[in-house]
Amino acid sequence: MALKSTICKAALRIANVDRHHYQDHALTLARHPSETDERMMLRILAFALHADDALQFGRGIGTDDEPDLWQKDLTGVIELWIDVGQPDERLLRKACGRARQVFIYSYGGHDAGKWWQRAGARIERAENLTVHHVVPATCKALASLAARNMELQCTIQDGHAWMASDDVSFAVELVALKTAASVR
């Protein structure tokens, strides 16, 4: 018998001074049985960093034709494609061809470095691709916030982000591995 996804809910309050986005979001996430706390919380972080009324979660792990999050315009054109982890460079090239902007948030310490060494050279010409590595301390702090019902705050100012709950707050540390050269 297959295990079912766990439904997690997050009340996320975002204050993005850089983009003038101040809003509360009620997020419902289907957490796949094989998904870790760390990965689920990275999806929430990615949502917070790119928050928009049109931003939606994809169908989840095991769906190659959809990202973890995406945003489409009213005609169905993919404006924003966001993946968490270390996607295959073939899938990255496909995403870069389908979306105006592609963001990858890699994690996993040493493994992420090896992934980028392998994949980076093959996809460096993708002008609409931005890749950030989430440092292990941030991943660990995010995972500590995971629960079935969460109340979280994210503040973004001058390119820096902070996540918080009632009990803890911390700076989000991202390392830019590749920045998009242009947006189509």
How confident is the model over 150-161, as pLDDT tens digits?
Answer: 999 999 999 999
CB burial readout 49-82, b (16+ within 10 A) else e:
bbbeeebebbeeeeeeebbbbbbeeeeeebebbb
Instruction: Tell whether 17 is covered by a domain.
Output: no
Amino acid residing at 70: W
pLDDT of residue 62: 59
pLDDT of residue 183: 56
Instruction: Tell whether 26 is covered by a domain.
Output: no
Instruction: Tell whether 135 is covered by a domain.
Output: yes
pLDDT of residue 63: 64
Query: Alpha helix (H) ranges present in 50-129?
Result: 89-98, 110-123
* Nearest residue to 98 via CA among 141, 124, 66: 66
- What is the spatial distance between Cα 56 and Cα 67, in angstroms, rounded to a whole number? 10
pLDDT of residue 115: 86
Average pLDDT over residues 70-89: 94
How confident is the model over 15-63, as pLDDT tens digits?
Answer: 999 999 999 999 999 888 888 999 999 999 999 999 999 999 987 665 6
CATH code where residue 41 lies: 3.10.640.10
pTM of the model: 0.92
Per the structure, the complete domain to which residue 103 belongs is given by 36-151+173-178
Instruction: Tell whether 41 is covered by a domain.
Output: yes
pLDDT of residue 105: 96
Query: How many other β-carbons are positioned within 10 Å of the β-carbon of residue 147?
Result: 13
Instruction: Tell whether 13 is covered by a domain.
Output: no
pLDDT of residue 6: 87
Residue 9: pLDDT band (50, 70, 90) is very high
* Domain total of the chain: 1
> Exposure of 37 by Cβ count < 10 A (0-12 exposed, 13-18 middle, 19+ buried)?
middle
CA 114, 89, 134, 177 dihedral sign is positive
